[in-house]
Amino acid sequence: MKTASAGTLESMDCLVTVSEGGRGSGLAVELEGSGVSRFRSAMEKTVRDTLETLGANDLTVNVNDRGALDVVLEARVETAVKRLRGER
């Protein structure tokens, strides 16, 4: 199974890890960290919207949040997916 990540566990950042799922498995989003209890739905929407924009399917995305803004989360998801695909 291929895996890629982007980000850090520093304050105001997040670590996003993306793993290939089996064909037809769909998207699974796992959220943990300091902001999840208050911002779960917004964070999940940002992740899913970013994946949709990238045309990403059949992935498991794990986000370990340390207070990242939405734009940071979006950039980390995009970078992790592109690394998984071998894109620059």
Q: What is the pLDDT of residues 26-82, one digit of tens each?
A: 999 999 998 899 999 999 999 999 999 999 999 999 999 999 999 999 999 999 999
Residue type, 7: G
Per-residue confidence (pLDDT) for residue 78, from 0 to 100? 98
Structural domains in the chain, CATH included, are 3-85 (3.30.230.10)
Whole-model pTM: value is 0.95
- Quick one: CA dihedral 23, 1, 56, 72, positive or negative? positive
Could you give the CA distance from residue 71 to residue 23 in angstroms, rounded to a whole number? 29
